[in-house]
Each structure stands twice: as structure tokens, then as C-alpha cells.
Amino acid sequence: MKLSLSNKYIVIVLSFFLLLFLVIFFTTIGSVSLTLEEVIQAFFSDEETVARTIVYRMRLPRNILATLVGANLAISGILLQSVMKNPLADPGITGVSTGASVVAIFIILVAPHWIHALPLFAFIGGALACGLVFLLAWKNGIQPIRIVLAGVAVNSILGGFISLLSILYSDRIQSALFWLNGSLASKTWDDIYLLLPYSIIGLIASLFLIRSANVLQLGDESAKNLGFNVSRTRLLISAVAVFLAGVTTAIVGVIGFIGLIVPHVSRMLMGSDHKYTIPFSMVLGGIILLVADTLARTVGGAIEIPVGVITSIVGGPFFLYLLRKKGA
């Protein structure tokens, strides 16, 4: 299934154009059926029609946000997998999602008047939890296995707090559930403007980490012999990964599986060189989350399904199928 060198470039470029096409094409799909003509008009005319409201203020921002979120989470996943040298690593392992969740749920359930600052506080929560994990894992440098173990411990402690809050405020849990399962419903252009600059910073930074990620793959000894400070490199890559996962989770909630599945698919097609897998994961993450979110808002008719639910239910079996097919 692996592609030859020049084909890899072609696939990456073609996927990028596919992504652009889908962002526009999926604005024609939704619970209200619009004719193609109406959609085109919505894009090119300034007239405030219902079609324009639906296309320009609802579907388009959602599609763009889905693309950003998918790219961020996929890159976060692939960077962390390279740091941990563990194919099961995903952004959640660093505690960033659980940390953000505890804070977000506290705000939603206990202090709803702070809701407007939720992204900021959720980011701080994620950063603190993740900082704690890395602090616990630090002992004369960073060992991947200790990050994983510290992550499991911190996640389970924070998970306890989430359960406690949900039991104490069980009457209001409904609104928190949507956050816990990640949803792009009712996101606005403002959310995109909020996420976009951070995404760009994080995604571009990831491109400059390609060499480091490749070197880490060689193993600690070889990396050291090549003159790399292994611990510092790990920290740097983790920081970018956590930053991307943190800002994303803070705005849309917890969306699982993208950070795990996209890097795998990406490696299956592109091999292990991050020169290809990182750009491809970025595009593929966007495509997969965009498709998942379009399913989320259409399959249930008038009933919105959190996109995190779709990525798990549909993405899980698909991932298993790929693994079996690969014979790994």
C-alpha cells in the first residue's frame, strides 16, 4: 500500500485540493435542503437570504472549524506518537483533554456565568494537567514510559473529579455531555478567529519539527550520538503537540480518536518519514473530521450527534479494518 516518492507528493497535494473541495461541497448538505443554485448565490451575493444564513453562517464556518480541529488533533497525535515511541499515544495521554474537561465541566455545571471565558480556562486546565504529567515523568530527563504512566495516573485522578461533578450536578449534566463528547454545533465565526491563529502557529511549528521527530525514531542512543539533546527535543515536540490539542479542546471539547487514527493511516500510506506523514496527517485529519462532522449534523435528521461520538463509533471499526488488512 505504500507509495513511491513522487506519488507521495502527488497524494498530499491532491488530498489538499480534495479537502478544499469538500469544505465547499459539504455546504450543500444539511438538514435543510437547498438547491445548488441557492448555495452558489449564497456565496456570491450579499443579499441576506435564508440560504445565505444557512450556508455562510452555519455550514461554512462549521466546515472550516472541522478542518482546523481535525488538522490540529492529527498533528498533535503524530507528534506525541513520535515522542512516546508508542503507537497508542494520543493527545489524551498527556492529561490535556481531561484537564481541560474538569475545568470546562466545573464552569458549565457550577459557574455558568464564566461560560464566556470557558476556552481560556479550559486551556489553562489542560496546560496545568499536562504540566503535572511531565513534571511527574521528569527524572534525569524524560522517558516515554514515565509520561504514559504519569498520564494514566493524572487522567484517572481528574476523571474522578469529572465523575464527582457529574453526580453532584446531575440535573445539568446534559449540557456538559456535549462538551465531553466534542461538538461543533453552535460554533460561530468568532470561534474560528479564535482558533485560527493558534492553529497556524502550531501547524507551522510542527513542520519545523520534522527532522527532530525523525531523529527520535532512531532511538535514544543514535539520537544522542547525532548530537541531539533527547530530553529537550522530546519536551519541545510535546509542547507543540499539547499546545495544538489544548487550544482545540478548549474550543470544541473532547474529540477522541482523530489523534490516534490519522497518524496510523498516514504511516500506512506514507511510510515512517515525518517529512511526508506530518503534512499528510494535517490534510487527512482535516478531511476525516470534516466528513465526521458532516455525518454528525446530517445522519440524525434534526437531532445533532456530537462529532466525538461519530469519530469513535465510525472511526473505531474503520481503524480495526485497516489494521487487519495491513496484517499488522
Q: Does 48 bind another protein (CB under 8 A)?
A: yes
What CA–CA distance (Å, rounded) separates 216 from 241?
15
Greatest Cα-to-Cα distance within the chain, rounded to the nearest angstrom: 64
User: Which one of 57-65, 142-150, 212-220, 310-318 is the stretch in contact with another protein (CB under 8 A)?
Assistant: 57-65
What CA–CA distance (Å, rounded) separates 162 from 177?
11
Interface characters, 154-183, with another protein (x: CB under 8 A): -------------xxxxxx-xx--x-----
Q: Facing residues of 138 across strands?
A: 142
Q: Does 17 bind another protein (CB under 8 A)?
A: no
- The angle at the Cα of 292, spanning 3 to 279, to the nearest 5 degrees, equals 35
Q: Facing residues of 142 across strands?
A: 138
What CA–CA distance (Å, rounded) separates 261 from 9?
21
What CA–CA distance (Å, rounded) separates 272 from 115?
42
Q: Does 88 bind another protein (CB under 8 A)?
A: no
Q: What's the min distance (Å) between Cβ of 203 and another protein?
A: 6
Closer CB to another protein, 220 or 304, in the complex: 304
Within residues 189-218, the interface with another protein by CB under 8 A covers 189-190, 192-193, 196-197, 200, 203-204, 207-208, 210
Identify the residue among 35, 163, 186, 272 touching another protein (CB under 8 A). Answer: 186
The answer to whether the CB of 230 falls within 8 A of the CB of 282 is no
Strand segments, DSSP code E, in the chain are none
Q: Residue numbers of the site for another protein (CB under 8 A)?
A: 9, 12, 16, 30-32, 46, 48, 50, 53-54, 57-59, 108, 112, 115, 167-172, 174-175, 178, 185-190, 192-193, 196-197, 200, 203-204, 207-208, 210, 275, 279, 282, 297, 301-304
